[in-house]
A and B are shown apart, each in its own frame.
Chain A
Amino acid sequence: MNVGFDFINNKLLIRIDGDIDHHTCDEIRSRIDNEIMRRNPKNIIFDMKNVNFMDSSGIGVIIGRYKLIIDKGGLAAMINVKPPIKRVYDICGLKKIIPIYENENQAIQKI
Chain B
Amino acid sequence: MRIDNEMKLEFLSKSQNESFARSVVAAFIAQLDPTIDELADVKTAVSEAVTNAIIHGYECQNGHVTIVSKIMGRTVEIEIKDYGKGIENIDLARQPLYTSKPELERSGMGFTVMETFMDNVEVDSQPGMGTTIRLIKTFKSM
Residues of A at the B interface (CB closer than 8 Å) are 19, 21-23, 29, 53, 55-57, 59-61, 63-64, 83-84, 87-88, 91-92
- Known pairs A23-B15, A55-B110; list 20 more (Cβ under 8 Å): A21-B19, A23-B18, A23-B19, A29-B105, A53-B19, A53-B47, A55-B51, A56-B106, A56-B107, A56-B110, A56-B112, A57-B107, A60-B107, A83-B36, A83-B37, A84-B37, A87-B117, A88-B113, A92-B107, A92-B112
Measured CB to CB, the closest approach of chain A to B23, in angstroms, equals 10
How far apart sit A56 and B18, CA to CA, in the bound complex (Å)?
13
Known contacts A64-B105, A88-B113, A56 near B40 by CB under 8 Å: no
19 A-B residue pairs with CB within 8 Å: A21-B19, A21-B47, A21-B51, A22-B18, A22-B55, A23-B18, A53-B19, A53-B43, A53-B47, A55-B113, A56-B112, A57-B106, A60-B105, A63-B105, A84-B37, A84-B40, A88-B113, A91-B109, A91-B112
**For the side of the interface on B, what is the size category?**
20 to 34
Report chain A residues within 8 Å CB of B15.
Answer: 21-23
Contact of B48 among A55, A84, A87 (CB under 8 A): A55
